[in-house]
Structure 1
């Protein structure tokens, strides 16, 4: 039975995330905030791009 390397990577990542949350919850909250800001900015950029495409690609 070979252990799937993807499963190992997921377990290691989960342990790391739990370690960060337990040892420094304030910094973990900052990381989550930064992540959601990045996702929000990416969604806004995709929306702007789609609007630009819908308008015929004019500048």
Structure 2
């Protein structure tokens, strides 16, 4: 089981590096979309917590 996890992490790392090398602009777009999603989720949680306090 540990070897499967290690192999999965290795394959994922190779895929990420391949994507960055082949299409850096698309990779940057995907990272930006990811960070915008995280930011939006954090903002939503903050708004929810503020509504609970008030």
Tell me the TM-score normalized by structure 2.
0.89
How many residues are matched?
54
RMSD value, Cα: 1.3
- Give unpaired runs (5+ residues) of structure 2: none
List 4+ stretches of structure 1 deviating above 2 A: none
Greater percentage in helix: 2
Any unmatched runs of 5+ in structure 1?
A: none
Higher gyration radius (CA): 1
Indicate the structure whose relative CO is greater, using CA pairs within 8 Å and at least 6 residues apart.
2
